[in-house]
Amino acid sequence: MITLDLTLPDTRYPIHIGRGLLDQVELLLPLLAIPQVAIVTNTTVAPLYLDRLASALRRHDIDVIAIELPDGEAYKTWDSLNRIFDTLLGRHCERKTTLIALGGGVVGDMTGFAAACYQRGAPFIQIPTTLLAQVDSSVGGKTAINHPQGKNMIGAFYQPCAVIADMELLSTLPARELAAGLAEVIKYGILGDAGFFEWLEQNIDKLVALDAEALQYAVRRCCEMKADIVGADEREQGARALLNLGHTFGHAIEAGLGYGAWLHGEAVAAGMVLAAALSHARGTLARSELDRIVSLIERAGLPTRSPDLGVDEWLALMSHDKKVERGRLRFVLPLGIGQATVAGDIDPAELRALLSGDYIIRGQVPA
């Protein structure tokens, strides 16, 4: 097991990375203020791992409450959030009851937001079960639900007590979900670590094949980078915005197609290509580096072209992005492999040309 520490001005918590950690309840027990937990999971993960975790906790006389939500981005809503609150209130849970997020990014985001709100703040622990959640969404304290007009527009910064990333849980991931997680892995190489990007080019086939050693290294490197960035900029006032590479375009895809039509990582992958293509068109990214980005994303089994939402719809959807400042869209653009910046001087004509170009799918959008 490897343990990283994320240190912030007001808190500090461990990120445990290893194999078989779901059964190591000694990692959890010292974090519980009272012997009661509420495990929030979904209908896909529950049959695989809920009983295993709940039984391990009950052997230590922990009162375990299970909250099972429907699976999918389409359910990252007020209704699902209220199902969590209904159960917590119905079981008379206290402020010190610990919420445990057992699932992917949707479960983690909703559990964290519920914890931030319940009695003005309950402790919570992240146990991410997808690659995307292990390398990105479980770390850093961003919690939210979606709104029909924009993804993650309603939420809070609220840090977990710990993140426990068990590599064994990735063995049950469908290939499409694994690829979606690889989008966020690739993102880290593009925005801040050229050496890691080169390592990915050499090892992407191992990651796709679920090679245990390669996966653990990738998760560790991504978590190290995110811990450093979040530690310096918890509330996204500066460098943390770089972690949104591909997300302005990606969130528009998710909202435009309907949440769940494309997985988050698929939309981010296509969004990163658009961001790289925009940077190349502006003369700030070499063609050779754009080609490397596109090639690695393709090798991960991810889309490199975005759906044709219509230029006006694209612009309308992106106007709800959280990086909009004084009415102007801002985009994270790669300046080279391992370097990125936030650009707020994009001419609408540049966007219109991009969104009418070669990186947009014409005709049927693949599932």
Active site residues: 120, 142, 184, 226, 236, 240, 244, 247, 251, 264
Q: Which residues contact 79 (CB under 8 A, 6 or more apart)?
A: none
Chain centroid to Cα 232, Å, comes to 19
CA nearest neighbour of 186 among 295, 90, 316:
295
**Helix, strand, coil percentages for the chain (3-state, nearest 5):** 50, 20, 30
Residue with tokens 């006006």: 312
Q: Are 128 and 108 in contact, with CB atoms under 8 Å apart?
A: yes
Q: Are 264 and 314 in contact, with CB atoms under 8 Å apart?
A: no
In DSSP terms, 143 is beta-bridged to 156
How many Å apart are CA 56 and CA 285, to the nearest integer? 51
Q: Are 242 and 236 in contact, with CB atoms under 8 Å apart?
A: no
Spell out where 288-364 has E strands.
Answer: 306-307, 331-336, 339-343, 360-361
Each as own residue / partner, the long-range contacts of residues 213-218 (CB below 8 Å, 24 or more positions apart, any chain) are: 215/131, 215/167, 215/170, 216/2, 216/17, 216/18, 216/19, 216/167, 218/135, 218/185
Side chain identity, residue 271: G
How many Å apart are CA 276 and CA 287, to the nearest integer? 9
Whole-Å CA distances, 234 to 6, 220, 277: 10, 20, 29
